[in-house]
Structure 1
Amino acid sequence: MWQDENDEQWAKTISESRYSVYPICSDSADDIVGILYAKDYFRLKDKSRDNVMDTAVRPAYFVPETIRTDVLFRNMKKTRNHFAVVIDEYGGMSGIVTMNDLLEQLVGDLEDDISIAEEQPLIERIDSKTWRIRGIAPLDMVSEQVGVLLPEDDYDTFGGFVFGVLGTIPEDGSTPEIEEDGLVIQVTDIRDRRMESAVVYLSENVSGEKHHGKEN
């Protein structure tokens, strides 16, 4: 969006395009003055452009074209940025990248795995507190079936969530174990830099606030 547009133009762009993030540009597309998340915009009662610029627009996170995917992933996780502006060697904008773009690369192309997912269950319950979960399982589905609140706004898939917690790309064949958000997650299969599956247990330390499911 352009900084010199009026309030009505901003409202129309956000409501009609339905993107989650918008770069705010000044004189040209290379002159990005900030980033506006749609969720921050909709939370405001006063949606005048000046108030949006003052209270909702965040500083842009710039990265060079030459940065490696794994390094960018770690840096974005560390700085809690979910949107980066990619700058070329001349200082101009060459593109944008989101955390979801990176996670899709790390977890794998989801569309290629649809046929496999149809043959194998995304979530298999082993007992009342144990599940076998595929990396491509949608995180909201995992949260619902396991009964634990997970950061669904930050990650689309279970594999993306696991890689986000790890903060790195595990080596093929490795089986890291983590404990996060009331779950003990034992990764059982890493292939081609993506998480194929993990066995998940409810942690003994899960709080009532995190756990909202019912045991059968």
Structure 2
Amino acid sequence: MNDPYPSRKSHLKNLDKPRSLLERLTDLISPEPESRAQLLEILQDAHTRNLIDADSLSMIEGVFQVADLCARDVMVPRAQMDAINVADKPEQFIPFVLEKAHSRYPVYDGNRDSVIGIMLAKDLLRYYAEEEFDVRGMLRPAVFIPESKRLNVLLHDFRANHNHIAIVVDEYGGVAGLITIEDVLEQIVGDIEDEYDYDEEEGNIIATPDGAYRVRALTEIEQFNETFSTRYCNDEADTIGGLVTHRLGRVPHRGEKVQIDDFIFVILRSDARQVHMLLAKQLPFNMVSHHEHNDH
């Protein structure tokens, strides 16, 4: 006998089927989603099922993270800003610009609380082409933002105003640091290639002219030990970046220094989640001995 309500039978059959990822996502993006945590849980489940790759999941998680972070969380602190004193002559600061290799520099007058503009490195070409070179006249306006400004709002402002750098100020109007559009995007997509990065072909450890070494944070401890005859243990971490993070008990900030045995590690690049690049410098034997003596 035919069922007079075939649609009811079909509906009951569907109740017995496991709900698909698409159906669960559809429920969550309905006018009344349950929670962001559940959405992330489903996305992580999608990664487990190989429906999205690890990079995609990481970027989605980064988008959520950007909404929770503010400028003070990722800014370059005032003390570590590569800034230029307007009173200096071009022949004084151009070598500094070449060394740091940034595209933009804050320019201050007197002290770092008095930022008067932003200098573009490319504008320095005019120094070699013009007889009269006026530093003040070539500066671009500086954008000032509070420490509490949310990164998602800041990213929107950067894009809308075609701006790439902002000066972060504290509640008293003093300069707390600076932040670039790259700093914000790195919270989403991970580390972006900059002056401290290099090609895969060049390896994980590169010597610098001053006797130090630029080391990728993902360099395995075993490789580092083989290169420098060190005896770092890989029980707590597999990589040099992990070793430094474990030693500090947190993700270090750019510019921080950590001594582990006879090496000083300076953080060249890191974000809120991990270290990306370090500068490693081996201490002379007498300095190591002195340090170990003081520790006892």
TM-score normalised by L of structure 2: 0.34
When Rg is computed on C-alpha atoms for both structures, the one with the higher figure is: 2
Question: Which has more strand, going by share of residues?
Answer: 1
TM-score, normalised to structure 1's length? Answer: 0.46
